[in-house]
Amino acid sequence: MLSPVYFITVFLLETERRMENHSKSMEKAAQNMADTVIAIMDRLAGKESDLKLSFEDLTLDMGMFKAKLNGAIVLDVVYAKEAKT
């Protein structure tokens, strides 16, 4: 017969594995979003444009924690030419 310690150990290892997978998934999603924003900013460069990211009832689900956000982020896209030396 298996001891309760065995089941607790298996449970903890499985929980840790799931948390690692979730963390990797969140990291990939953040990287994809960053790549998209960078591509948009490059297209707006030199046009003195603003990039406004608006969200309403945005739910961030991080496994054990959830947060609901409302608001906007405005990025002023301004590129300066490098000074010649």
Domains of the chain: total: 1
| pLDDT on residue 22 | 77
Asked whether residue 82 carries a pLDDT value surpassing 70, the answer given is no
Structural domain includes residue 83: no
At 5-50, the pLDDT tens digits run 888 888 888 888 888 887 788 788 888 888 887 887 777 766 667 7
Please, which pLDDT band fits residue 78 given cuts at 50, 70 and 90?
low
Structural domain includes residue 68: yes
Please, which pLDDT band fits residue 79 given cuts at 50, 70 and 90?
low
Structural domain includes residue 18: yes
- Contact in structure between 40 and 34 (CB atoms under 8 Å): no
Domain containing 37 equals 4-77
Q: What is the mean pLDDT of residues 53-71?
A: 79
Structural domain includes residue 66: yes
Q: Which residues contact 37 (CB under 8 A, 6 or more apart)?
A: 51, 53, 75
